[in-house]
């Protein structure tokens, strides 16, 4: 499982990789620069497809193949064919914040975290398919990666600065989450960041300041570790025609620290063969 550098980028915070099966490409972002990229592994080409003046924290793929972008101040935009249109202008109380990781659930809702500010900790919101949005979990010290177990009864959720990955009881019919329990707790300087769940139900977690991705069984036991030449490993997803490739984003850090400090692959997009297949991400079905 030796990772290869798919794109030798120098992203401040490379994040949010997601395979788009309609286009057979990988989308990913550099959060603080508001840049959305599209990587075509067949052609070996990476292109900038959208440059927003504000940060892009995450995005989902809509049922029709277009994207929803989750940005500063709780703004949500619909991105289609190179054009962006505002869906939600802002969220009350989040003027100084921004969205971080987001995920569509099996029914097309979107769970979206917002970052802490000087005045309050972060929150987890749920955007329902008819367009209403509300807070479902609060006082989160940096909300991050999310994923669903194959039985769709458990939702995983990383709280980075608490050094925890939670597991919620999740109800697909209502979108409700409750009975939060720890999935894994982390010691030391590294923090859990983005995550995904493979076709066998194992959870793959990227570790910021850990230089690694870890694979965890559903009981929380670590099964494998993949190391990277970058300290800040930020997120992971599965892709390729049969979802047999793993794509991993990394970061230089928002201060743009040199690779001498962060590792000679810091800020690059990586790919490796995990030996297990992933599954397509759920698509959002938000009425626009």
Catalytic residues: 193
Q: Are 116 and 141 in contact (CB under 8 A)?
A: yes
Supply 49's token pair: 């497809």
Question: How far is C-alpha 209 from the chain's CA centre?
Answer: 17
Q: Are 156 and 113 in contact (CB under 8 A)?
A: no
Q: Are 227 and 1 in contact (CB under 8 A)?
A: no
Question: What is the DSSP code string of 260-286?
Answer: HHH-TTTT-EEEE--SS---PPPPB--
Residue 259 phi, psi dihedral angles, 5° rounding: -65, -25
Residue 200 phi, psi dihedral angles, 5° rounding: -95, 0
Distance CA(18)–CA(145), nearest Å, equals 13
Vertex 251 angle, CA 120 and 9, to 5°: 140
CA end-to-end span of the chain, whole Å?
A: 41
Beta bridge partners of 156: 147, 167
> 80: helix, coil or strand?
strand
Q: Are 272 and 245 in contact (CB under 8 A)?
A: yes
């Amino acid at each position: 499982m030796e990772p290869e550098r798919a794109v030798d980028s120098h992203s401040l915070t490379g994040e949010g990789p997601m395979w788009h099966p309609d286009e057979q490409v990988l989308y990913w972002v550099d959060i603080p620069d508001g840049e959305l990229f599209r990587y075509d592994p067949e052609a070996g080409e990476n292109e900038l497809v959208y440059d927003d003046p504000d940060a892009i924290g995450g995005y989902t793929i809509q049922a029709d193949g277009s994207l929803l972008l989750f940005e500063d101040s709780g703004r949500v935009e619909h991105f289609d064919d190179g054009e962006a249109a505002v869906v939600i202008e802002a969220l009350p109380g989040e003027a100084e914040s921004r969205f971080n990781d987001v995920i569509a659930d099996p029914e097309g809702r979107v769970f979206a975290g917002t970052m802490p500010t000087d005045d309050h900790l972060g929150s987890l919101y749920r955007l329902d398919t008819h367009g209403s949005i509300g807070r479902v979990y609060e006082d989160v010290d940096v909300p991050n990666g999310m994923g669903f177990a194959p039985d769709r009864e458990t939702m995983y959720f990383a709280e980075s600065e608490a050094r925890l990955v939670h597991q919620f009881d999740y109800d697909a019919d209502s979108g409700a989450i409750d009975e939060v329990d720890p999935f894994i707790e982390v010691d030391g300087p590294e923090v859990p960041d983005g995550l995904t769940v493979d076709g066998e139900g194992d959870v793959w977690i990227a570790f910021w300041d850990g230089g690694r991705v870890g694979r965890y069984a559903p009981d929380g036991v670590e099964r494998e570790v993949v190391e990277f030449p970058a300290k800040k490993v930020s997120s992971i997803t599965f892709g390729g025609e049969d979802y047999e490739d793993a794509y991993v984003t990394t970061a230089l850090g928002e201060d743009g620290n040199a690779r001498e400090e962060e590792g000679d692959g810091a800020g690059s997009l990586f790919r490796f063969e995990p030996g297990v297949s992933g599954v397509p991400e759920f698509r959002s079905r938000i009425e626009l």
